[in-house]
Amino acid sequence: MFTYLSRWILKITGWRFDGELPNQNKYIVIVAPHTSNWDFIIGVLARGALNTRIHFLGKHQLFIPPWGWFFRAIGGSPVDRRKNNNLVDSAVQLFETEPNYKLALAPEGTRSQVTRWKSGFYHIAHKADVPIVCVGLDFSRKAIVIRAPLAASGNIAQDMAVILDFHRSIKGRHPKLIPDFATTTPPQETAQSD
């Protein structure tokens, strides 16, 4: 039911897919740029329309009553940003224990403007040996753009150049909040806990 409703809502609002998710049991989806609360709504509808269970991490405040049950039901896992947790290792463990696990993350980590992305998604993909699927919500074209999977080679600078190149063409809802990828340096190799 939710699949058909999601497809219908995307269709009547003019959104379409450009590309498709891989036919694999495990991967990380990174969605960028993240400049608006609408990104989450479009993302949930896209996931519903694709009929694929993709998990996400959210700030712990989303999971308290009265709406906590809803965010858990749609695949959310709470993250308490006040605590110094090793999110990379926790996410890797989820990939190791679950036979069918897909995780979506926003590399900016916030809707506010940033000068560089957090690198946790990359370290999760490399440690868990799962591919990275880049997705862009292009509001200028009303297109959910999905790139072919990229294996995390361990050379973060090289792989991030490919990832950033893809996201240069994506126009978020609030373009002024999108970092200038031409001058943004890739995350450092040592940023394990981002």
Name the residue among 7, 46, 11, 14 with its Cα closest to residue 140. Answer: 14
Q: Is residue 29, in this structure, part of any structural domain at all? A: yes
What pLDDT sits at residue 184? 43
Q: Is residue 181, in this structure, part of any structural domain at all? A: no
Token pair belonging to 117: 């992305």
What pLDDT sits at residue 177? 45
How many residues are there in the chain?
Answer: 194
What pLDDT sits at residue 15? 97
Q: Is residue 36, in this structure, part of any structural domain at all? A: yes
Q: Is residue 113, in this structure, part of any structural domain at all? A: no
What pLDDT sits at residue 89? 83
Number of separate domains in the chain: 1
Residue 137 has φ and ψ, to the nearest 5°, of: -95, 100
Q: Is residue 126, in this structure, part of any structural domain at all? A: yes
Q: Which residues of the chain are under the pLDDT cut of 50?
A: 111, 177-178, 181-186, 188-194
Query: pTM for this one?
Result: 0.79
Q: Is residue 165, in this structure, part of any structural domain at all? A: yes
DSSP code of residue 75: T
Q: Is residue 191, in this structure, part of any structural domain at all? A: no
Can you tell me the distance from the alpha carbon of 14 to that of 34, in angstroms, rounded to the nearest whole number? 20
| Burial of 14: CB neighbours in 10 Å, binned 0-12, 13-18, 19+ | exposed
Q: Is residue 109, in this structure, part of any structural domain at all? A: no
The alpha carbons of the chain give a radius of gyration, in whole angstroms, of 16
What pLDDT sits at residue 70? 87
| Enclosing domain of residue 150 | 2-104+120-171
